[in-house]
Chain A
Amino acid sequence: MSNQNQTDRILVIASVQDLVNMIKEAVGGSLEVTYAPNQKEGLERARKDLPAIIVLGYLEPQGTAFALHRKLREGWITKNIPLLIVDIESADHPQRVLSMEEGLQMEADEYVSLHRTDGQVSVSRLAEPIARLKETLHTRLRTTANLVREAILDPDTFCVTWEQVPGRGAFEMQQEELVENARRAARRGRIHAVSVTDNPGGNPAISTEILCTEIRKLGIEPLVHLAFRDKNRNECESMLYGLAALGVRNLLLLTGDYPSSGGFMGRSKPVFDLDSVHGLQLVEMMNAGMEHEAMGKKTTLAPTDFFAGTSVSPFKQSEAELVGQYHKLKKKVDAGADFVITQLGYDARKLHEVLTWLKVNGYNTPVMSNIYVLPYGAAKIMNANQIPGCVVTDKLLEEVAQEAKASDKGRSARLARAAKIYAVAKGMGCAGAHIGGHGLTYEMVEGIIDKGEELAKDWKTLVAEFDYPQPNGFYFFERDLKTGLNLETPASRPAKTGLSPVYELSRLAHVTLFNPRSIIFKAFKPVMKRVDSSARIESIFGSMEHLAKVAMFGCMNCGDCSLFDVAFLCPMSQCPKNQRNGPCGGSHEGWCEVHPDKKCVWVRAYERLKRHKEDNSIGEYTVPPCNWELMGTPSWINFYLGRDHTAKRLGIPPVPKKPPSVERDKVKSDQKTASS
């Protein structure tokens, strides 16, 4: 999804045009050469065209070139564009581009002084600096050289990222250690990125985006986690612009754990305005150059260069949860996910399942295996299901407990386990490893890499050590008895029977009332228009609809009804994370992460649909985020009059809403008639 097709353009700014010809000759058609004859046009072009290189020659009057060079160097848009200053010395060029004083303060990338003898200038002397500047461009911000992207996409490189967990507070030891870890990693150069989690566990923490811009300055690529729990769509976009401008390009887009109860004066408001599929769509749009309208004028923004990954959680116990995960993964990959990081887990067959699923479905999206160095304390918490989505089975817990009795409290054993997962992940074809763990030092991470690389060639013998199925755990594919991993044959998913009266009734209503091709729909449409034309009738109608839907679905009156998309379960009222495109990764054996006494809506939806053999419909289309413009308006009218997301998908033509001023005038005139 990343934008790599920026035109390679070279902009020449000079009072005399002969420099253009020289540059053209020097680049020999490898770059498109454009020309600006003065400071004003030069600056305009540099800002609008975003050339790959700017060449600055003599500008009238003396001193202009230096002033322009300063502006280009300081300008927000142009500061990273490589700049070459060319001086041509000859009888008809008596003046220098820069005076001596100016030259000593020059901040261009390159300077070339050419001598003209008998009207001839050695153009070859320009070729080398231009070639170097092309390289420079590739190492600068807003450019294509992203070591993480390269490492993940290169089949011969096993990408390693190291997860850091920031804490609450501005100046705390946790922050100190995090930055120090990043510094060590940057110096040693063995890992490709340092990732920083976003308000981990739903607790407030110092912002990942600010830490990541600092980390980038240390000389290593950061990987910014973005959880949609705390930021609405505008805030996400805003943050992404900031990151793009500062050259932070690698993202991991996640739903996020539910807010913890430890927020300031209580639990924070969960946002979940977008889900991770929407987030990927947003990034895709920004990378393509987002189009928007301002003051009635359409503009296209300069494309960003994000490399965005997402997560998947194969370590799910029930069929409904797991199939839901893969349906959602399909949407994420279709939305443009550049890579996928798995949830942490210790079951090799499950990790292999993700690779197999992608392969069987024709995707070549790279997968990073999440390797969490597991100490006994964390194992106990995860086994008790206190960290959403993190599975440690009883068998694994027992082993870790045994290891913890050693004199090093199990340290060498858990590092060895991590190295083995590394080897297995690499061997089975993962693109990389995402290493994490509390209290890990850089040396330990390097130890895992070294040991893991050493073991990788014999990875098949290690698979048996990572056999931790959950009780009655469902696997998407049949087991391959030879390898202990998966065949490409999907496991059977026996049909379900049984009835849910509300669901059956809703289905019936849907087929009759909400099918744009049905006679009833056509008959009702003028009625809906009538309702829509009067504020008073609309309000009465809305209240009645709302009451009925509150009784049946706990309706929150969002006006952009998604009941059709979730088998008549409401993601606004019945899913605490408002997931419209599939389950989050937090459920446990089918139960909700937030309300453990309630079934996950997506598990229920799967079961409902499966009875009608329609369970694949979950992955069929992406539901857009709720349009808050419709909040509090009757969703049936929005549907009939083509205003909500479903209507758009079904091609119902939109009927524009009358402006409120007309409504207000009408109410006023009604009041007048009543009082007279």
Chain B
Amino acid sequence: MHLSELFRNGKFVITCEVTPPKGVDIGEFLNTVDMVKDHVDAVSIGDNQRAVMRAASLVICHLLKEKNIEPLMELTARDRNRIALQSDLLGAAIMGIENVLLVSGYPPSVGDHAQAKPVYDLDSVSLVAAAKALTQGHDITGHALDGIPSLCLGVAANPGLKPAEPHLERLKQKIAEGAQFIQTQAVYDPEVLEKFMESVSRLNVPVMVGHAMLRSASMASFMNSNLPGVSVPDKFIKELEGLPKHQIAETSLRISIDLLRRMKPLCQGVHFLVAGWEQYVPTIVEAVVGQKTRQASS
């Protein structure tokens, strides 16, 4: 089911990123999916996310589809040219993978193959345009398709980025090209989200706020130093400082629930980025929306 349809029905849409294996052993990956699958509308699968080489997103999404779990496939312009990108989108649609998140992708230098050649044949705006073209029955050079793919297109945004204007300008372009929903970078201040929502209100596109649980005070400082636009307030870092391990999880969980309860009325969904802490997602979802999102598939 297209996520856009859920938004249209007024549902608070929840997705959670689960990291594909670096290797061919998918046991642990599937266990992790099991932890969250009943509490999310779609499981989001990164495309060599943060420039770390992993198993192909398309294949992993297909596996989920077979298990009757809705995937959200990320597609990055970093590793493929326009031919491969369109081809993968068609492939996905054939497999029934219809929700896609189209991003330009972090440069190879942040990941584990710093020497890799960055492609960026398309950027995120033209990638949206290409996908939209496919859904209209032709490729970007105008050749007609045999059968038209049905795709729901999502794009990324970073509400904390400064200066905001150039970024918002690009976001508007993406929407103009046909993007149907927005997933944001992690936001830890409801005011920042509120401001962002005001600036995109005229675009009339649903927004899912990104949320990464704070794994430690050091992880929060790391994000502040290394992720542009992410700003974890000092009060959260102070709360986590010096805590023993078992109390960190408890405190972090409380921070997440408080924060998302305050942000829920502002936006239309939440996207969890919790690599390694997926076991806490059900607790947060139940505390924030009050119930399971999706009945266990029978």
Question: Judging by beta carbons under 8 Å apart, are B50 and A106 in contact?
Answer: no
- A108-116, A233-241, A327-335, A350-358 - the one binding chain B: A108-116
- A97-105, A257-265, A314-322 - the one binding chain B: A97-105
List B contacts of A87 (CB < 8 A): 225
Indicate with 1 or 0, residue by residue over B109-126, a CB within 8 angstroms of chain A CB atoms. Answer: 011101000000000000
- Give the number of residues in B that approach A within 8 Å (Cβ atoms): 30
Expressed in whole angstroms, the Cα–Cα distance for A108 and B112 within the complex equals 21
Interface status of B29 (Cβ within 8 A of chain A): no
List B contacts of A104 (CB < 8 A): 50, 212, 215, 219, 222-223, 273, 275
List A contacts of B275 (CB < 8 A): 101, 104-105
Nearest chain-B residue to A141 (Cβ)? B244
Interface status of B221 (Cβ within 8 A of chain A): yes
Interface positions, chain A 119-137, Cβ under 8 Å from B, are 132, 135-136
Question: Judging by beta carbons under 8 Å apart, are A100 and B218 in contact?
Answer: no
Nearest chain-B residue to A98 (Cβ)? B222
* Also in contact, A80 and B218, with CB within 8 A (given A63-B112, A101-B50, A101-B111): no
Nearest chain-B residue to A95 (Cβ)? B114
Nearest chain-A residue to B213 (Cβ)? A104
Interface status of B52 (Cβ within 8 A of chain A): yes
Expressed in whole angstroms, the Cα–Cα distance for A230 and B184 within the complex equals 61
Nearest chain-B residue to A85 (Cβ)? B218
Interface status of A139 (Cβ within 8 A of chain B): yes
Question: Judging by beta carbons under 8 Å apart, are B246 and A111 in contact?
Answer: no
* Also in contact, A110 and B221, with CB within 8 A (given A79-B245, A100-B50, A105-B275): yes
Interface status of A666 (Cβ within 8 A of chain B): no
Expressed in whole angstroms, the Cα–Cα distance for A135 and B241 within the complex equals 10
Question: Judging by beta carbons under 8 Å apart, are B219 and A99 in contact?
Answer: no
Expressed in whole angstroms, the Cα–Cα distance for A84 and B221 within the complex equals 11
Expressed in whole angstroms, the Cα–Cα distance for A87 and B223 within the complex equals 13
From B227, B242, B246, A100 is in contact (CB under 8 Å) with B227
List A contacts of B4 (CB < 8 A): none
Expressed in whole angstroms, the Cα–Cα distance for A112 and B225 within the complex equals 8
CB distance from A94 to the nearest CB of B (A): 9
- Give the number of residues in A that approach B within 8 Å (Cβ atoms): 34
Nearest chain-B residue to A217 (Cβ)? B246
Question: Judging by beta carbons under 8 Å apart, are B242 and A109 in contact?
Answer: yes
Interface status of A48 (Cβ within 8 A of chain B): no
Expressed in whole angstroms, the Cα–Cα distance for A84 and B216 within the complex equals 12
Nearest chain-B residue to A79 (Cβ)? B245
Interface status of B23 (Cβ within 8 A of chain A): no
Interface status of A177 (Cβ within 8 A of chain B): no
Nearest chain-A residue to B227 (Cβ)? A100
Interface status of B231 (Cβ within 8 A of chain A): no
List A contacts of B217 (CB < 8 A): 109-111
Question: Judging by beta carbons under 8 Å apart, are A101 and B49 in contact?
Answer: yes
Q: A103-B219, A104-B275 are in contact. List 12 more A-B contacts (CB 8 A).
A: A62-B112, A63-B112, A85-B222, A99-B110, A100-B227, A103-B226, A104-B273, A106-B222, A107-B219, A107-B245, A111-B218, A132-B242
Contact surface of B with A, Cβ cutoff 8 Å? 49-52, 106, 110-112, 114, 212, 215-219, 221-223, 225-227, 241-242, 244-246, 248, 273, 275-276
A-B CB contact pairs (8 Å), 14 listed? A63-B112, A73-B245, A85-B222, A96-B226, A99-B52, A100-B227, A101-B112, A104-B212, A104-B273, A107-B215, A108-B216, A109-B241, A110-B217, A111-B222
By Cβ-Cβ distance, the 6 closest A-B pairs, closest first, are A113-B225, A111-B218, A108-B218, A136-B242, A103-B222, A111-B221
